[in-house]
Amino acid sequence: MSSEPVGIQVESVSKNFGDVRALDSLSLKFEAGLMHGLIGPDGAGKTTLMRCLISLLEPDRGKIQYTLGEKHTSYLELKDAVAYMPQTQSLYADLSIEEHLNFFKDLYDISEQDFQSRCERLLKITRLDKFVTRPAGKLSGGMYKKLGLMCSLLRAPRVLLLDEPTNGVDPISRREFWDLLYTLSDEKVLIIVATSYMDEAERCKMVHLVDDGKFLHAGKPRDVLREVKAKNFDEVFIRSAKEKRVSYV
């Protein structure tokens, strides 16, 4: 596959579940090689969009277009270069870190040489190298998340989709997790982090704010706050919630 950067364009995507509209004519652009934050409260449509990006769900309307360099391509052409870490990870409590890595090595059909070099690097940067024999069920919340990320990264993806990766993780582990993401971002991996933690928005290069499946704002974090005249992203969504209540009256 070409080494050109991968980007994603979401164009007027809508998705309904019965009478509930999870995505409402949503348009977003995820530029290649940057860390993007998909920011919104619970129920904003973040998980639905993530699942649409990897074809687990099909939009009712609109389209999602991947780009490779300057050329349009399909998810099917790029799926081996895309890794998805769901909000609820399916790790095996009785398997150790080492056993998980070997399992995903076989699953992704990774050569022994690539596997050894990637494992050594990932264990080092996650600082899990001293715990390889520990079962997943006995890991702390932060270590468990890191193991899930490692399993996603074994295939050396060029697109990494993370759905609420720090949800339920203690503050120190959250900081360590973001430090790890910065390392990946420096390697020009396209990273999309869906989160409801408003403070994490300012850790991203670009942010895309959504609520009730609708687009609110996008851009560099400081530029967005300056544009909407808000001190932080909590204030932005508090305003959005107030506006919704007024519209229902």
pLDDT, tens only, 55-68: 999 999 999 999 99
Q: What is the pLDDT of residue 177?
A: 87
Among the listed residues 179, 193, 194, 192, the one whose alpha carbon sits nearest the alpha carbon of residue 46? 194
Residues 6+ apart with CB under 8 A from 116: none
Q: Name the strands in the sheet holding 159-163, side by side, starting at the edge strand that comes first in the sequence.
A: 82-85, 159-163, 190-195, 35-39, 206-211, 214-219
- Summarize pLDDT for 81-118 with one digit per residue, the tens: 999 999 887 799 999 999 999 999 999 999 999 999 99
Which run of H or E residues covers position 21?
strand 20-30
Whole-model pTM: value is 0.91
Q: How many angstroms separate the CA atoms of 146 and 127, rounded? A: 9
Classify burial at 56, counting beta carbons within 10 Å of its beta carbon; exposed 0-12, middle 13-18, buried 19 or more: exposed
Q: What is the pLDDT of residue 248?
A: 47
Q: Could you give the dihedral angle defined by the CA atoms of residues 78, 82, 87 and 90, in that order, rounded to the nearest 10 degrees?
A: 100
From first to last of its 249 residues, the chain has per-residue pLDDT tens of 557 889 999 999 999 999 999 999 999 999 998 999 999 999 999 999 999 999 999 999 999 999 998 899 989 999 989 999 998 877 999 999 999 999 999 999 999 999 999 999 999 888 899 999 999 999 988 899 899 999 999 988 999 999 999 888 888 888 888 988 888 877 888 999 999 999 999 999 999 999 999 999 999 999 999 999 999 999 999 998 888 765 544
Is 14:3 a contact under the CB 8 Å cutoff?
A: no
Residues 6+ apart with CB under 8 A from 157: 81, 82, 83, 189
* Superfamily of 6-90+157-248 according to CATH: P-loop containing nucleotide triphosphate hydrolases (3.40.50.300)
Among the listed residues 114, 37, 58, 50, the one whose alpha carbon sits nearest the alpha carbon of residue 88? 50
Taking the CA atoms of 34, 39, 45 and 48 in sequence, report the sign of the dihedral they define.
Answer: positive
Which run of H or E residues covers position 11?
strand 6-17
Classify burial at 87, counting beta carbons within 10 Å of its beta carbon; exposed 0-12, middle 13-18, buried 19 or more: middle
Q: How many angstroms separate the CA atoms of 238 and 66, rounded? A: 33
**All structural domains of the chain with their residue ranges:** 6-90+157-248
Residue 23's identity, in one-letter code, is L
* DSSP helix/strand/coil, 131: coil
Q: How many angstroms separate the CA atoms of 154 and 151, rounded? A: 5
Instruction: Report the 10 Å Cβ neighbour count for 16.
Output: 15
Q: How many angstroms separate the CA atoms of 203 and 243, rounded? A: 27
Backbone angles phi, psi at 103, to 5 degrees: -60, -45
Q: What is the pLDDT of residue 170?
A: 83
